[in-house]
Structure 1
């Protein structure tokens, strides 16, 4: 668990981290080793989940690398499936990370929502639903590894 006191916002307690795969932590369906290393570190204190529509069809080749639970969503209603998954975990104690239009409902529900503008871009709707926007999945995960970065960004 990660517990933070953010000036002007109060106390945040995070138990779960839910990440979209394609475009968020993976490029063309491949998750970089730099992301996997960070997920390993975070999995010591958080329940980590990767949720994906598997657009590139590479989930099976990446599954064994991930120190995370895997949840696959299917059309129709991918966004609602992601939101329901997060809600069942406990949205008030969850961090969500995404980039796509089908991540918006999940981002809106999470206590902390991080949008990633990576190599596959980020939907305008996801940007609007985020509390923080980062330029890479590594930067997003580093916020949770060095929580002073979160405090500096979110304090009021």
Structure 2
């Protein structure tokens, strides 16, 4: 568990991190440099989940050495499925990270929604409901590894 007290925002009691794959952890279906090395220490604190539309069909292969639970979704209904997944985990215990339109519902449901503005872009639906925006998944994972960064961004 990661507990982060953010003045003027809320106290986060996080047990889960739900992640999108393509556009967030990966570009063109390939895991981004630096992601795997940050997932390992986070797995000591949080249960890690990758919930993906699996656009390129090989997310499981790219994540085989990562300490994550993987859920591959069918082509339709992904936004609702991702949001429902977060709800089943208990949204007040979840941080979520994504970039796509199909990630907006999970970002909105989660106690902490992190939108990623990477090279595949960031859907405005996801941008509008996120608590914080980062330029790269490594930066988003870094917020959880070094919570004072998150406190500095979200306090008021």
The two structures share one fold, judged by TM-score above 0.5: yes
Which residue is 2:11 aligned to?
11
1:44-86 deviation line (CA, Å, top 9, x unaligned): 0000001100011222321312210001111321100111111
Q: How does 1:1-156 map to 2 (within 5 A)?
A: 1-156=1-156
CA deviations over 1:6-57 (Å, ceiling 9, x no partner):
1112321000000000001101111134101100110000000011000112
Structure 1 segments, 4+ long, off by >4 Å, are none
Count of residues in Structure 1 that have an aligned counterpart in Structure 2: 156
In structure 2, C-alpha distance between the alignment counterparts of 1:66 and 1:33, rounded to whole Å: 13
Deviations 1:120-141 (A, max 9, x none): 1111111111000000000000
Q: Secondary structure at the match of 1:64?
A: coil
In the aligned structure 2, how far is the partner of 1:122 from the partner of 1:10? 25
- CA distance in 2: counterparts of 1:71 and 1:10, whole angstroms: 29
Alignment RMSD (CA, Å)? 1.0
TM-score by length of 1: 0.97
